[in-house]
Amino acid sequence: MKPIIAIYGPTHTGKTDLANALYTKFPSELISVDSVQIYKNFDIGSNKPSPEEIKKFPHHLIDILEPNEDFSVSDFKKRSLEIIQKADEDSKIPIFVGGTMMYFYSLFEGLADLPPRDDLIRAELNCDLETFGLSSLFQRLEKIDPEAALKIHHHDTQRILRALEVCIITNNKFSEIIKKTHKKNLLDHKILSFAIVPDNRAKYKNELKIRFESMLKRGLVDEVKSIIERFSKNISALNAVGYKQCLEFIDGNLSEEEFITKSVNASYQLAKRQITWLNKLSTTRIFEKDEMNKVIKIESFLQI
C-alpha cells in the first residue's frame, strides 16, 4: 500500500508548490486541506489555485460547496478516507496539502466519531441563540458539561452549538465522547508528514503584507461584495482571515490602511497558531521556507 504524504504549516510558505512538484514525480492524488478553498467564489482571499493551475494539478476538495453550505471536520475526514481508498485502488499516493490544521489532526491523530448533525435540534438551539443570546447557551453548556465548557471559548458560537447538540442527541457529555477518541483507520498506511515554517519572522510578515496588497489589486473587495450580494454577510466562511477584515472595511469601520494592517496582523497570528499545532502532530520532517531541495529530501523517506 502506498504511503500517505501530508504537507502542512503556516500560510504562504510554499506548501502548494511542493505538493505540485511531488505530483509531477509520482502517480498521486492531491487533496486540499483548506476550510475556505472548499467554497466556490472564495478565490482571491483564500489564495486558491487558479483554474489553469487546477487543470494542471487537479485537487480534491476545492470548489465543492456553495458558500452557504456547511462543512465540518467530520465531513472532511469522511471524504478524505474515501479519496484514500480510491487512491489505494489505483496505486497512487494521496498527498494532503494545506493549512487547516484541525483537519490534519482529525485524519492523522484521530477525533471521536460524533453523531451527525440533527437539523431539528440545531434549529431549536439557533432559536434559543437568537432569543436568549450566546452567553445563555454557554451557561447551559457549563451546567451540562463543565469540562467541555472549560475547553471552548465563550464566544465560539459554532463549537458551543455543536457541543450542546451532541449532549442532547447522545444524552451523554460531549467531553466524555471526545475522551473515547480512537486513532484513524489508516493503520495500514505509512504516513509521512512534512511541515514548512518561515525561517525569518520579520521577512515573512513583510511577505504576508505584499501578498495581501496583491489580493486587493486582484479584486478582493469586489469578491466579498459579490458574495454578500448573492448570499449574506452571515455565512461562516466570511469569518476567515482577510474576509472578516474586508467586511469591516466594506461596512466603513476601517480605513484602507487599517484594513491592510489588521488583515496582515491576523494572517501573522494565524501562522503562529498553525506553528503551535505542530506540537500536536507527529511530523516526519520540518523544513524552513527557503530550504532547498525539499522534493529530493522527501524522496529519501519514500520506499515505493
For residues 255 and 167, membership in a common domain is answered with: no
Q: Do 66 and 189 fall within a single domain?
A: yes
* pLDDT for residue 114: 74
The confidence score (pLDDT) of residue 303 equals 65
Residue 57 near residue 67 (C-beta atoms within 8 A): no
69-101 confidence digits (pLDDT tens)? 989 888 999 899 999 999 999 999 999 999 999
State the CATH number of the domain containing residue 126. 1.10.20.140
Verify that 286 and 262 share a domain, yes or no. no
Model-level pTM?
0.79
Read off the pLDDT of residues 197-256 as tens digits, 9 standing for 90 and up. Answer: 999 999 999 999 999 999 999 999 999 999 999 999 999 999 999 999 999 999 999 999
**Same domain as 9, residue 130:** no
Same domain, 190 and 107: yes
Q: Are residues 224 and 155 in the same domain?
A: no
Residues 29 and 90 in one domain: yes
Count of domains for the chain: 3
- Residue range(s) defining the domain that contains residue 161: 119-179
Residues 227 and 283 grouped into a single domain: no
Label residues 205-228 b or e (16+ Cβ within 10 Å = b). eebbbeebeebbeeebbebbeebb
Alpha-carbon torsion, ordered 36, 182, 115, 138, to 10 deg: -70
Does residue 304 belong to any structural domain of this protein?
no
Mean pLDDT of 262-284: 94
Q: Tell me, what DSSP letter sits at residue 237?
A: G
Residue pLDDT, tens place only, 219-233: 999 999 999 999 999
Residue 184: the pLDDT is 47
CATH code of 249's domain: 1.10.287.890
pLDDT at 151: 83
Record the cell numbers describing residue 171, joined without a space.
Answer: 444524552
Q: Provide φ and ψ at 29, rounded to 5°.
A: -125, 130
> Quick check: is 98 in a domain?
yes
Same domain, 192 and 261: no
Decide if 79 is inside a domain. yes
pLDDT at 181 over 60: no
**What are 113-160's pLDDT values in tens digits?**
678 888 899 999 999 999 999 999 999 999 999 999 998 888 888 889
Q: Does residue 99 belong to any structural domain of this protein?
A: yes
**Shared domain check, 94 and 133:** no
Domain annotation covers residue 246:
yes
Residue 295's pLDDT band (cuts 50, 70, 90): very high
Q: Alpha-carbon dihedral of residues 12, 270, 69, 141, nearest 10 degrees?
A: 160
Check whether residue 23 and residue 124 sit in a common domain.
no
User: What are 97's strand-pairing partners?
Assistant: 7, 32
Residues 210 and 287 placed together within one structural domain of the fold: no
Residue 40 forms part of a structural domain: yes
